[in-house]
Amino acid sequence: MQSRVSVKFGAGNAFWPAPVALVSVGIENPNFFTLGVMGAPSDRPPILTISPKPYRYSYELIREHGQFVVNFPTVDMIRQVEYAGMYSGRDVDKWEKCAFTQVKGQEVEVPLIAECPVSIECRVLHEIRFQRDRGRMGTHVLVVGEMLSLSAHQEYVIEGELCWDLLDLIFRSRPASWRALGPVMGYDIRKSQPSDPRLSAERIEDRVTSLKDKALAFYREPPPLPTDEPAPPRVD
């Protein structure tokens, strides 16, 4: 298993542009689900928002324990991301089906997904429910979480800083597709620069080159779902 280190977070260091996440929830019988949209509306305190649908099993577990962990999967985990976004923890053990390992966090009791290179532990501060027309409940609940800890696989941390550019995170695009970020085209001069831009550039180049091979492999032979069952019909 990869060793995991704590990383400073705050001022814009959370995640951007927002990748797809696997949110782990629950303590005695933990579960996780795929999340497409999240927000980072405040640096101090460091706040992260997620929006589960109110009838989700995972939302029940968030309400029960007041904690959740946002784990970031990489492009090698696309089928697991799809699986976790199609099946419910009410019916299946997603840990077993996706061959993911639970690892203990530092601040919360909800387990992290060890295979994901970055995880953010959060506790629930508020929930905002929305109303639709005629008093009907809105489609999603906004769960506002305080980020308590950010940890990452050692190999992505250079001099204590998490190097997001080295991670092959997954982004959702239109038409519905899974994408990776391309190369870095420069650094914002108003912000702190990487301490060793040449080292970072070399590692980013390697990453981008290997992405091309992974994309071609995906087209030639898409990985199967981590189950023999057919995909369930779309419900929402």
Ligand X SMILES: Cc1cc2nc3c(=O)[nH]c(=O)nc-3n(C[C@H](O)[C@H](O)[C@H](O)COP(=O)(O)O)c2cc1C
Comparing C-alpha atoms, which of 205, 192, 177 is closest to residue 13? 192
Binding part of the chain for ligand X, among 82-90, 98-106, 122-130, 184-192 by CB under 6 A, reads 82-90
Which range, of 2-10, 45-53, 159-167, 202-210, touches ligand X by CB under 6 A? 45-53
Residues in the chain: 236
Which residues contact residue 79 at a Cβ distance below 8 angstroms, ignoring those fewer than 6 apart?
223, 224, 225, 226
Class of residue 203 by CB neighbours under 10 A (exposed 0-12, middle 13-18, buried 19+): middle
| Radius of gyration from C-alpha coordinates of the chain | 18
Does 194 sit near ligand X (CB under 6 A)? no
Half-sphere exposure of 52 (CA within 13 A, CB side): 26
Q: How far is the CB of 57 from ligand X (least distance, A)?
A: 4
Asked if 57 is part of the footprint of ligand X (rule: CB under 6 A), the reply reads yes
- Tell me the per-residue interface mask from 11 to 30 with ligand X, x by CB under 6 A, - otherwise: ---------x----------
- Residue 9 vs 59, nearer CB to ligand X: 59
Task: Establish if 56 lies at the interface with ligand X (CB under 6 A).
Answer: yes
Residue 128 makes contact with ligand X by CB under 6 A: no
Print the SS3 string covering 23-68. Answer: EEECCCCCEEEEECCEEEEECCCCEEEECCCCCCHHHHHHHHHCEE
> How far apart are CB 172 and ligand X at their closest, in Å?
5
34 binds ligand X (CB under 6 A): yes
Nearer to ligand X, 162 or 169 (CB): 169
| Residues found near ligand X in the complex (CB under 6 A) | 20, 31, 33-37, 51-53, 56-58, 82, 85-90, 172
